Amino acid sequence: MSSPVGPAVDAAAGDAILKPDFGARRRHFIFTDEHEQLRESIHAFVVAELAPHAEEWEETTFPDSVFRRMGELGFLGLDKPEAYGGQGGDYFTALVLAEEMAHSNSGGLAMGVAVHTDMTLPPILAFGTEAQKQAWAVPAIRGEKILCLGITEPDAGSDVSGIRTHAVRDGDEYVINGAKTYITNGHRADAIVLVTKTDLDAGYDGFTLFLVPMDVPGVVREQRLQKLGMHASDTALLAFQDVRVGADAVLGQVGKGFYHIMWELQGERLIGAAGCVAGAQKAFAKTLAYALERRAFGRKIGHFQVTRHKFAEMATKIESARQMVYVTAWRFANGEYPVREISMAKLHAARVAVEVADECIQIHGGAGYMKEYGIERVWRDLRLNRIGAGTDEIMLDVIGRSYGL
Ligand SMILES: Cc1cc2nc3c(=O)[nH]c(=O)nc-3n(C[C@H](O)[C@H](O)[C@H](O)COP(=O)(O)OP(=O)(O)OC[C@H]3O[C@@H](n4cnc5c(N)ncnc54)[C@H](O)[C@@H]3O)c2cc1C
């Protein structure tokens, strides 16, 4: 049995010889046995039911039935309240899902699911009326309704305050006009959480969120956009042309939509960062296996010192990103609002993921460039993370400004 201060003290007592055990499973302190059991069951599902379709879904996008199946299994509401059909778990259960989805070998699928569970459901549950939660959150957690989130516009992405989509009050209704672009799940979604301006002169206090069914007249799914990666997801250009919704479609407080969506982005960034770490780890493992098999100049390529050091660099970067994500998640889960640290974790994890994926292509040589090995796709998929949910430059700006600069 180890002492309270660790195994080194036992060894000092003279009854043990300490040797490193690099194969030992190290559970991070934020996770319990229950989290690990959940991890195993999500992993088993992802490997058996999602990963085998990864290639096919690159061509077709993944089917809506994935949401229904994940809803049946309870995976869409892990950290959502039981009152709305969720599992009532803590925030770390959402991290476990984000990490295990990396084993689907499909960044597009993982992103489509995360937009539903971790980007659109949270503001509905946090700011929605009871009627909105019953109408949208309950069926969304069951996987019967699909959700998307509309912030970005053709003329405003990083600069959310520059959006033009606006909603004008007309009696008991609002009339919405505008456009949103790059909207994940935009083609398949049943409802959108839409960021609008309701007062053009009120600055940050002029924004309002709406929860808009996608089948109301005037919502036009204009274009299915072609992308570098994330091919399994659908990405839409949407138009809103004199869309009439009742005042009951307002999500949260009129005029407070900017603050609501900035809160939403914190959770989105942290989950995205967890996905980056898991994606990088998966690429690392795959490349390690390759490096221990592929031979050149009479030895395994992994046995060249330069390659060994590449793995050491990658492992160290991944571990640093993982620790940032876990510690920041712990703070978030314990009621803090650590915007600076979330921005740092998102920035660092996204950079690390792209650097690791790039190095993994290099270690694979020509095979890394071939579709057959799947490593080029990892790079293409992970590359989005330095842009989506706030670019590297915006993360740096948030961090820098947090020091009063
Ligand atoms: C595949 C994909 C899926 C997406 N899914 C969604 C979704 O579901 N919902 C949604 O609302 N959005 C979504 N997005 C949009 C994404 O969040 C935006 O692309 C991102 O926020 C950047 O906005 P932008 O593309 O308009 O770039 P821009 O804002 O035009 O930025 C262009 C460049 O200028 C830099 N820049 C801008 N402002 C500054 C500044 N102040 N200082 C320094 N540099 C600056 C940027 O960092 C970037 O390098 C998605 C994007 C993609 C590619």
Tens of pLDDT, residue by residue, the chain (405 residues)? 444 555 555 555 667 888 998 888 778 999 999 999 999 999 999 999 999 999 999 999 999 999 999 999 999 999 999 999 999 999 999 999 999 999 999 999 999 999 999 999 999 999 999 999 999 999 999 999 999 999 999 999 999 999 999 999 999 999 999 999 999 999 999 999 999 999 999 999 999 999 999 999 999 999 899 999 999 999 999 999 999 999 999 999 999 999 999 999 999 999 999 999 999 999 999 999 999 999 999 999 999 999 999 999 999 999 999 999 999 999 999 999 999 999 999 999 999 999 999 999 999 999 999 999 999 999 999 999 999 999 999 999 999 999 999
Q: Does the annotation count 59 as an active-site position?
A: no
Sign of CA dihedral 327, 264, 136, 226: negative
Pocket test for ligand 1, best of 120, 152, 397, 401 (most atoms within 8 A of CB): 152
Residue carrying the six token digits 């493992």: 285
Ligand 1 centre from 87 Cα, in Å? 33
Spatial CB neighbours of 381, under 8 Å, sequence gap ≥ 6: 106, 107, 108, 229, 230, 279
Q: Write the residue with the smallest CA distance to atom 25 of ligand 1.
A: 157
Q: How much is the pTM? A: 0.96
Spatial CB neighbours of 278, under 8 Å, sequence gap ≥ 6: 98, 99, 100, 101, 102
